[in-house]
Structure formats: structure tokens, C-alpha cells
Amino acid sequence: MERRNFLKVSSAVLAYAGFFSPSSVLASEKKPLIGFKQIAPSTSDSVIVPEGYEAKKLISWGDPLFSKATPFD
């Protein structure tokens, strides 16, 4: 078997096996995947985070990214 054909066949087998892996079966369970409670949809103009978490501003619009950057107009 040529190297190219081997790579084609092995990648196809891995893709097929990954599709039917146990992780896809476990994802159908109803428990949260990353450990926080779902928040209700909202149309308010604010940041809403799950209970027990907090949101902090990383950077504001117009803040210079570098010390020698020109100010944003």
C-alpha cells in the first residue's frame, strides 16, 4: 500500500471512529457540560453571568493597546 493511500484510509477510519466515540453519546445527557446553571435569555443591554460568576471589563472601546499608540479619535 502506498503511503498516500494509507494516509487517506487511516484518516477516513479515524474520522468515522471519532463520529461514533463515547463523547458524542455522553453529550446527550441532560447534565451541564461546564458546570454552571443556564441563564434565561434577555433583551436587556447588560452583561448577565451565571450565579457564582462575575464579569470584569478587560478593555474599553478606544483604550490604547500600546503605550506609544496614538489616541483613538
pLDDT for residue 24 is more than 60: no
Residue 30 burial (CB count, 10 A):
4
The gap from C-alpha 57 to its chain's centroid, in whole angstroms, comes to: 20
Contact between 64 and 72 under an 8 Å Cβ cutoff? The reply is yes
| Cβ within 8 Å of residue 52, ≥6 positions away | 36
21 vs 33: CA distance, rounded Å: 17
- According to the model, what pLDDT value does residue 43 have? 93
* pLDDT grade for 44, boundaries at 50, 70 and 90: very high
pLDDT > 90: percent of the chain? 14
* pLDDT grade for 22, boundaries at 50, 70 and 90: low
Contact between 53 and 36 under an 8 Å Cβ cutoff? The reply is yes
